Amino acid sequence: MIRIASWLMVVYASAHTVGAFVVEDAARHVPAWFSGQLWGEDFSNMSPAGSALWLTLASFAPPLFILGLLLLWLHRRRITPPAFVAWMLGGLTMMDGIINPYTPWPILLLASVLLLIGIRREKRENNSVTDASRLGNYPAA
């Protein structure tokens, strides 16, 4: 479950970023980003270059990509991530769904639920293994 959730995050974040660069044509604004044009920009009256930046590199997609890769890395090493990661991602996703319901937010909600289920399963399995190993190490009372 954790692996599936992690890959959903990686694919979602990649599609968001690449889609913004290609479909929304944000790539044409890249020169403006490095020219200093956005320094001191007014957020209430954002330029197309500023909007393109916030849709791509300054969006949640790059950190989500990193989070997905980190969760894959942890899973491969049999390290269970903390449940708060799934809860926080789920909460953020629900807020996004309420604010902007016409985005593919259900994909991230599914990833959050799968992640939470996977974390709980691994913790349950780890506790049963730990409990069984404890039985052999201590004399019966």
Q: What pLDDT digit, counting tens, does each position of 49-91 carry?
A: 999 999 999 999 999 999 999 999 999 999 999 999 999 999 9
Per-residue pLDDT tens for 95-108?
A: 999 999 998 999 99
Rg (CA), the chain: 21
> Would 92 be classed as within a structural domain?
yes
> Would 61 be classed as within a structural domain?
yes
Q: Terminal CA-to-CA distance of the chain, rounded, Å? A: 39
> Would 141 be classed as within a structural domain?
no
| Structural domain count, the chain | 1
Q: How far apart are CA 110 and CA 9, in angstroms?
A: 10
Buried b (16+ CB within 10 A) or exposed e, 86-117: beebbeebeeebeeeeeeebeebbbbbbbbbe
Q: What's the pTM value of the predicted model, to 2 decimals? A: 0.83
